[in-house]
Structure 1
Amino acid sequence: MGQNLNKETIAIITTVSNMELFKKTVAFFPVNIKLFVIDGSDGLFGLNSIKFMFKKLRSKKIKWIIMADEDVIFMNTGSIFSIIKEMEEKKYGVAGIRDGGILSWRGKNPYLINPFFCILDFEKINSFYDEKEFIKHNYLVENEFNENLEDLKFNYSTSSLFENYYCFFIWLRRKNISFKFLNATTSGFENDLETTTVFGLNTDIVLYHTWYARTYGIDTKNTDRINEVIKKGVFLKEFNERKIIYLKNHSFSIKKKLKKFYNRVSNFFFK
């Protein structure tokens, strides 16, 4: 399927709020590609993470960005590159999981992606990226996205604006960026109704997504559940051997602290 991929132009990025968990799951991340880690310990995630990603990486020579949460355990990294090859051949700009209709407990918008695992044609999107423009697209138009959703097994809401990052993907669709939707299920683990199994182009298992990363090491039930999934992972490389590029949004942290201070002062004087 086309020429071999130039892995020097592929990068993976994750926003980490739980470093204890990430130090375990990073051992299953693809090797020999750039790995960027955004510090999410101060609450930076979702839309803010996407905006910060473009701010820091826009000048980099990156063709493909793989977005993955820290609670993702990769099983077959070769399948990721097969997906990218198909995206390149068929001109897809985004690949990922529908945020509705795929999982029994996730009945959000099926036209949009949940970026716990998402592949972007970063070079193409970067060529017209405009933060001020895309944040204005946090609205939906009835019947705007004409897709057949009859094969979806579970509930969904085509009018959902549940996530703050939806505006980014709505904007991409309105820019005529083609989406490649991957299959997924939650039936892979006994007594585990949360962990999501994501499939590649065929029936290959690409990864498991455990969800609830922030509870790891805090909530015993979720910690034990996630540890069971980690045992299934394909160990690739020691954490300390990874070439990790850390990214910190210092202005976000300062603004958050100032907001907390302002709220405390306001509550003191106006309670």
Structure 2
Amino acid sequence: MKNSTYKAKTAILSTVNNFDLYKKSSALYPADIPSYVIDGRNGMFGIHSIVYMMKIFKNKDIDWLILMDEDALFINSDKVFPLIEYMAVNDYMISGMRDGGMLPERSGSPYSMNPYFSVINLKKLKEIWNKKEMLENHYIKDDEFDDDLSGLKYTYDKKSMSEPYYGFYFWLKRKGMKLLYLDISLPFKEDQITNIVHDIEGDPILYHTWFSREYGDKRGRHTARINKVFEEFKLRENTGIAPIIYKDSLFPLKDRFRRFKKNTRKRFRNLGIIK
């Protein structure tokens, strides 16, 4: 196995909304690879996080990037390195869970992945990266993709555009990039939200509890549910390498301007002023 070769140029990135959860879950990250954080408390997540990610890593000597949300817990973090090797040998650009059809809670596009956990061939992605081109791919055509969806157990919508980040995955597919869709399972009878992600051998890699943005809200159901999953782990003190944290402080202002510009163009089109 060549896992050590890939490990040398692998990093982990978390877009964090809840740093209390991150402090706990990041204790289970691989201790010998660098960790990076995008501070998402100002609303930066999803497609905006992906775009910012490419800016952060543009000049870094990193070949493989593991995306990991703060409400995800590694069961065995070493499993990601054989996965990376498999992806490298078989020329996969990205791996992760389909966003639609895999869980009762997720009924969106079966062609997109959900970025709570992904492994990305960052070196290859940087070679083809074109922000403008990628953002223009937020659309779906009838029967455009020929994925075999016969094994999906839950509801999905082939035409769904419910998440702004779908265009990123559609862009990769239209560029001819190979996407490796990972299997998942529901480990708890009383909790039909938390899932396990499995590697290509069927072994568990991590739990994902979902709804980190609602963690700490005593009125909701998710704080107690997430705590119960986290309590399954005897979480050690986080003694790994301290993460490098990035925050785009101007993001809220830029996002408001972007929305204003988009809405203005829409109104002008409706009035026939522009096409």
TM-score (norm 1): 0.89
Q: Distance in 1 between matches of 2:86 and 2:120?
A: 13
- CA-CA distance at 1:223 after TM superposition: 1.5
CA contact (8 A) 2:27 2:240 kept: no
**Which residue is equivalent to 2:177?**
177
**Which residue is equivalent to 2:144?**
144
- CA-CA distance at 1:257 after TM superposition: 7.8
- CA-CA distance at 1:251 after TM superposition: 2.1
**Which residue is equivalent to 1:72?**
72
- CA-CA distance at 1:204 after TM superposition: 1.3
Q: Does the residue aligned with 1:97 lie in a helix, a strand or coil?
A: strand
- CA-CA distance at 1:259 after TM superposition: 9.2
Q: Does the residue aligned with 2:197 lie in a helix, a strand or coil?
A: strand
Q: Distance in 1 between matches of 2:3 and 2:42?
A: 42
Q: Distance in 2 between matches of 1:166 and 1:14?
A: 19
**Which residue is equivalent to 1:166?**
166
The residue type equivalent to 1:196 in the other structure is: N
Counterparts of residues 233-252 of structure 1 (less than 5 Å): 233=233, 235=235, 238-239=237-238, 241-252=240-251
Q: Distance in 1 between matches of 2:189 and 2:29?
A: 24
CA contact (8 A) 1:28 1:234 kept: no
What is the total number of aligned residue pairs between the two structures?
258
Q: Does the residue aligned with 1:102 lie in a helix, a strand or coil?
A: strand
The residue type equivalent to 1:150 in the other structure is: S
CA contact (8 A) 1:8 1:34 kept: no
The residue type equivalent to 2:230 in the other structure is: I
Q: Distance in 2 between matches of 1:115 and 1:134?
A: 16
TM-score (norm 2): 0.88
* Runs of 4+ more than 6 Å apart: 257-260
Q: Distance in 2 between matches of 1:255 and 1:158?
A: 31
Counterparts of residues 111-150 of structure 1 (less than 5 Å): 111-150=111-150
Q: Distance in 1 between matches of 2:132 and 2:254?
A: 19
- CA-CA distance at 1:9 after TM superposition: 0.9
Q: Percent same amino acid at aligned positions?
A: 36
Q: Does the residue aligned with 2:205 lie in a helix, a strand or coil?
A: strand
Distance 1:192 1:81, change over 3 A: same
In structure 1, list runs of 5 or more residues that go unmatched: 261-271
CA contact (8 A) 2:9 2:61 kept: yes
Moved more, 216-225 or 123-132: 216-225
Q: Distance in 1 between matches of 2:141 and 2:255?
A: 33
Q: Does the residue aligned with 1:51 lie in a helix, a strand or coil?
A: helix
- CA-CA distance at 1:224 after TM superposition: 1.7
Counterparts of residues 210-221 of structure 1 (less than 5 Å): 210-219=209-218, 221=221
- CA-CA distance at 1:221 after TM superposition: 3.2
Distance 1:150 1:234, change over 3 A: farther
CA contact (8 A) 2:101 2:153 kept: yes
Q: Distance in 1 between matches of 2:147 and 2:17?
A: 35
1:9 aligns with 2:4: no
CA contact (8 A) 1:109 1:159 kept: yes
Moved more, 55-64 or 99-108: 99-108
**Which residue is equivalent to 1:266?**
none
Q: Distance in 2 between matches of 1:201 and 1:234?
A: 27
Q: Distance in 2 between matches of 1:257 and 1:112?
A: 26
Q: Distance in 1 between matches of 2:81 and 2:149?
A: 27
- CA-CA distance at 1:215 after TM superposition: 1.4
Q: Distance in 1 between matches of 2:11 and 2:5?
A: 12
- CA-CA distance at 1:231 after TM superposition: 2.3
- Pairwise CA RMSD of aligned residues? 2.0
Q: Distance in 1 between matches of 2:181 and 2:151?
A: 13
Distance 1:203 1:259, change over 3 A: closer
**Which residue is equivalent to 2:82?**
82
- CA-CA distance at 1:151 after TM superposition: 1.3
Q: Distance in 1 between matches of 2:57 and 2:141?
A: 32
**Could you report, residue by residue, the CA deviation over 1:42-92 in whole angstroms, capped at 9, with x for unpaired residues?**
111111100001011111011011111110011011111111110011010
CA contact (8 A) 2:140 2:159 kept: yes
